[in-house]
Amino acid sequence: MKVLAPTEENLVLAAEAVRDGKLVVIPTETVYGLAANGLNPEAVNRIFAAKGRPADNPLILHVAHREEAKSLTTHWSEVAETLAIALWPGPLTLVVPKAAHIPSETTAGLDSVAVRCPSHPVTLRLIQLAGVPLAAPSANRFMATSPTRVAHLDPAILDAVEYVLDGGPCDVGLESTVLSLVSNPPTVLRLGMADAEAIELILGGAPERGSDRRSPGMHARHYAPKAQLVLVDRADEGVAALVLRPSSSPFHLQMPGDERAYAARIYHELHLIDRQGVETVQIERPPREWSAVWDRLNRALSPP
Ligand code: TXA
Ligand code: MG
Tens digits of residue pLDDT in 99-120: 999 999 999 999 999 999 999 9
pTM of the predicted model as reported, rounded to 2 decimal places = 0.95
pLDDT of residue 143: 87
Atom number, ligand 1, closest to the C-alpha of residue 118: 7
Query: How many angstroms is it from 50 CA to the middle of ligand 1?
Result: 16
Checking if the pLDDT of 277 tops 80, the result is: yes
- List helix spans (H) across 98-242: 121-130, 155-160, 196-203
Checking if the pLDDT of 220 tops 80, the result is: no
Checking if the pLDDT of 215 tops 70, the result is: no
- What's the half-sphere exposure (Cβ side, CA atoms, 13 Å) at 180? 20
Which pLDDT tens digit goes with each residue over 64-89? 999 999 999 999 999 999 999 999 99
Report the percentage of the chain scoring pLDDT > 70: 94
Question: Among all ligands shown, which has an atom nearest to the Cα of 30?
Answer: 1
State mean pLDDT over 179-186. Answer: 94
Question: Among all ligands shown, which has an atom nearest to the Cα of 192?
Answer: 1
Question: Among all ligands shown, which has an atom nearest to the Cα of 95?
Answer: 1
Given ligand 1 and candidates 178, 219, 221, 295, which is best to mutate, with the most ligand atoms within 8 Å of its CB?
178
Which residues have any ligand 1 atom within 6 Å of their CB? 28, 30-31, 33, 57-60, 93, 95, 107, 110, 112-114, 116, 118, 136-138, 175-176, 178, 180, 189-190, 215-218
Checking if the pLDDT of 295 tops 80, the result is: yes
State mean pLDDT over 126-151. Answer: 96
Checking if the pLDDT of 227 tops 90, the result is: no
Checking if the pLDDT of 94 tops 60, the result is: yes
State mean pLDDT over 274-298. Answer: 93
Query: How many angstroms is it from 245 CA to the middle of ligand 2?
Result: 30
Query: How many angstroms is it from 217 CA to the middle of ligand 2?
Result: 8
State mean pLDDT over 227-241. Answer: 93
Which pLDDT tens digit goes with each residue over 34-58? 999 999 999 999 999 999 998 899 9
What Å distances lie between residue 127 and 35, 57, 62, 168, CA to CA? 10, 23, 8, 18
Atom number, ligand 1, closest to the C-alpha of residue 34: 6
Q: What is the mean pLDDT of the chain?
A: 94
Question: Among all ligands shown, which has an atom nearest to the Cα of 29?
Answer: 1
* pLDDT classification of 217: cutoffs 50, 70, 90: low
User: Residues within 5 Å of ion ligand 2 by Cβ?
Assistant: 138
DSSP string, 12-58: HHHHHHHHTT--EEE--SSS-EEEEETT-HHHHHHHHHHHT--TTSP
pLDDT of residue 212: 53
* pLDDT classification of 268: cutoffs 50, 70, 90: very high
* pLDDT classification of 214: cutoffs 50, 70, 90: low
What Å distances lie between residue 280 and 47, 115, 286, CA to CA? 32, 37, 18
The separation between the first and the last C-alpha atoms of the chain, rounded to the nearest angstrom, is 31
Strands (E), 152-250: 163-165, 177-180, 187-190, 208-209, 228-232, 241-243
Maximum average pLDDT range among 124-128, 180-184, 216-220:
124-128
Given ligand 1 and candidates 215, 218, 222, which is best to mutate, with the most ligand atoms within 8 Å of its CB?
215
Checking if the pLDDT of 216 tops 90, the result is: no
Q: How many other β-carbons are positioned within 10 Å of the β-carbon of residue 67?
A: 10
* pLDDT classification of 246: cutoffs 50, 70, 90: very high
State mean pLDDT over 221-246. Answer: 89
Query: How many angstroms is it from 94 CA to the middle of ligand 1?
Result: 10
